[in-house]
Amino acid sequence: MAGISATDVKALRDQSGAGMMDCKRALTDADGDLTRATELLRERGLSKAGKRAGRATSEGTIGIAIVGTSAAIIELGCETDFVAKTDDFQGLAQDIVEALASSDADESPEKALELSLGDETIGQRITDRIATLGENIELKRVARLSVGSGTASGYVHAGGKLGVIVGLAGSGDLDAVGKDIAMHVAATDPTPVAIDRKGVPADQLEAERRVLRAQAEQSGKPANVIEKMVEGRLNKFYTEHCLLEQPFVKDPDKSVGAMLKDLAGDATITGFVRFKLGEAAES
């Protein structure tokens, strides 16, 4: 176990919820690669798939704004929950996200800081509030969705701890449907990783396939049977992680896709973004 630091073991333990010795073993077998060690714990049935226990968190708020057919979402961080709840801080977050929703800026905090906010930039306004509130304030994440012909919707949950924006293409009044989908994305565990199967990132799909194959191989069954097992379990993965295939939170007997068809005909989801307070600290 030489070369495996206590810091790495703790990080893996916090992320996976597995025991210390199991984490040490996995890191040793993975030559210190945290990602591979996480996969090994899953293969060995020692980690909760897709869960991350003990996530690092920070104070602040998630803000959303809808301007026309565009939606924006930000994570604005500060040092204490006391400041996060003040009208000054909440007002700052709303001003920033409305400016972002009204712009066509690149989706990066650095570019957002250069946007105009009255007679100053967002960056200057933040600097002013740092002096006023006496705490460091940081624009951690920003994202925008723009729908050419359709509706942008959003939802903020748990007093600004979690927010979602959604874009829907189609005709008619889609606002209520969009809010329902945003609420679904906020409430669902596991969080969807893509709208449909085509959108699942290739590297994530391959990693899942490796884990499922390793688990299936432990059964000792023939290779052709193992492949069928893997494909069957991948279908379950898709059902759990693709938005359109997930059971709709308000009516679990229907998928989100079926609900969308019932309520909005040929409307399609063009995109969604989900921010949870504190997640930016991990990246």
The answer to whether the CB of 136 falls within 8 A of the CB of 80 is: no
**pLDDT confidence of residue 4:** 85
The answer to whether the CB of 7 falls within 8 A of the CB of 29 is: no
Please provide the size of the chain in residues.
Answer: 283
Q: What is the phi-psi region of residue 54: left when phi exceeds 0, alpha when psi lies from -120 to 50, beta otherwise?
A: left
State how far the Cα of 241 lies from the Cα of 232, in Å rounded to an integer. Answer: 15
Q: What is the phi-psi region of residue 147: left when phi exceeds 0, alpha when psi lies from -120 to 50, beta otherwise?
A: beta
**pLDDT confidence of residue 57:** 32
**pLDDT confidence of residue 277:** 93
State how far the Cα of 234 lies from the Cα of 35, in Å rounded to an integer. Answer: 20
The answer to whether the CB of 242 falls within 8 A of the CB of 234 is: no
pTM across the whole model: 0.76
Residue pLDDT tens, the chain, 283 long: 457 888 888 888 777 767 777 888 889 999 998 888 888 887 776 664 334 333 333 799 999 999 999 999 999 999 889 999 999 999 999 999 999 999 987 778 999 999 999 899 999 998 888 878 888 889 999 999 999 888 999 999 878 999 999 999 988 789 999 999 999 999 998 999 999 999 999 999 999 989 998 888 888 888 888 889 988 999 999 999 999 999 999 999 999 999 999 998 889 999 999 999 988 665 5
**pLDDT confidence of residue 97:** 97
CA-based radius of gyration for the chain: 22
State how far the Cα of 63 lies from the Cα of 76, in Å rounded to an integer. Answer: 8
The answer to whether the CB of 12 falls within 8 A of the CB of 52 is: no
**pLDDT confidence of residue 8:** 86
Torsion, CA 276, CA 278, CA 106, CA 102, rounded to 10: 60
**pLDDT confidence of residue 196:** 97
State how far the Cα of 57 lies from the Cα of 242, in Å rounded to an integer. Answer: 26
**pLDDT confidence of residue 49:** 37
State how far the Cα of 2 lies from the Cα of 95, in Å rounded to an integer. Answer: 52
**pLDDT confidence of residue 2:** 52
Residues 6+ apart with CB under 8 A from 72: 64, 65, 97, 98, 100, 101, 142, 143, 144, 145, 165
Burial 60-91 (b: 16+ CB within 10 A, else e): bbbbbbbbebbbbbbbbbbbeeebbeeeebbe
